[in-house]
Amino acid sequence: MEFSINDTMINLILFGPPGSGKGTQSDFLVEKYNLHHISTGDMFRSEIGGKTELGLLAKSYMNKGELVPDEVTISMLKKRVEDNPGVQGYIFDGFPRTVPQAEALDRMLEEMGQSVNLVELKVGDDELRRRLLERGKTSGRADDTNVDTINNRIQVYKDNTIPVATYYDSHGKAAFVEGEGAIEEVTNRLFNVVDSL
Ligand code: AP5
């Protein structure tokens, strides 16, 4: 396993629309830079699987392609970070998705004496729909099987989540890579960007 650049702490937000490859590419970044992966979508799906109160609440939003309320999402994320101290760095996948989530993350990292960089995967809407519908054939994810729900997820991303990239860009902490092409090509583009941070 390789370790992060100069053994310094590295925190990344892997950003992009639904189906852009955040989960796929997180695995390679985790391996190369020895990061702790936090996916709020996976956390919610695990709560749904466990039929918890939080899972029931999350499901009512996720199945429509809407965002789970900030308050719930932020407190779940904070707990996950607190439960995993002393890691080499975090990769945030699917979080933050709103500017209040971004501000909460920055405050939390600041208290830990750390900061974060955002890297966005750029993928066109048609390719997103194609990937998600394809995955929906086997994934069992309710939000991947209905094209209206997929379109709503893409719209919610445009309305609520793109401002997060603008927020980090205004702080000089955002970069992007082309997210279309073979998985390995996208991985190499990401490595080049992360190595230059
Ligand atoms: P979440 O689980 O985060 O889903 P998402 O953002 O919609 O993203 P996906 O997991 O669908 O896609 P991805 O970008 O990870 O791509 P992947 O690698 O899987 O969120 C789900 C829901 O939870 C939200 O809608 C919301 O309700 C709730 N939620 C989560 N976080 C929240 C938050 N912070 N605040 C509020 N609510 C929140 O790839 C997709 C497919 O494409 C795969 O089949 C993959 O094999 C394929 N693929 C990947 N790369 C390529 C490539 N280069 N070429 C061809 N195919 C590819």
Q: What is the pLDDT of residues 147-156, one digit of tens each?
A: 999 999 999 9
Q: From 120, 131, 186, give the residue whose CB has the most ligand 1 atoms within 8 Å, as the site to mutate.
A: 131
Note whether residue 61 is domain-resident: yes
Residue 15 backbone dihedrals phi, psi, to 5 degrees: -115, 150
Angle between helices 183-195 and 22-33 (to 10 degrees): 50
Number of domains in the chain: 1
Q: So what's the pLDDT on residue 86?
A: 83
Q: So what's the pLDDT on residue 9?
A: 82
Is the distance from the beta carbon of residue 168 to the nearest atom of ligand 1 less than 6 Å? Answer: no
Ranges in the chain, pLDDT < 70: 1-8
Q: So what's the pLDDT on residue 1?
A: 40
> What positions carry a catalytic annotation?
22, 97, 135, 141, 153
Note whether residue 158 is domain-resident: yes
Note whether residue 3 is domain-resident: no
Q: So what's the pLDDT on residue 27?
A: 98
Q: From 13, 14, 22, 27, give the residue whose CB has the most ligand 1 atoms within 8 Å, as the site to mutate.
A: 22
Note whether residue 192 is domain-resident: no
Residues spanned by the domain of 111: 14-186
Do residues 108 and 78 touch, judged by C-beta distance below 8 A?
Answer: yes
Q: So what's the pLDDT on residue 2?
A: 43
Domain CATH code at residue 26: 3.40.50.300
Note whether residue 132 is domain-resident: yes
Note whether residue 168 is domain-resident: yes
Note whether residue 8 is domain-resident: no
Note whether residue 85 is domain-resident: yes
- Whole-model pTM: value is 0.95
pLDDT digits (tens, 9 = 90+) for 32-54: 999 999 999 999 999 999 999 99
Rounded distance from Cα 16 to ligand 1 centre (Å): 8
Residue 121 backbone dihedrals phi, psi, to 5 degrees: -95, 120
Rounded distance from Cα 42 to ligand 1 centre (Å): 9
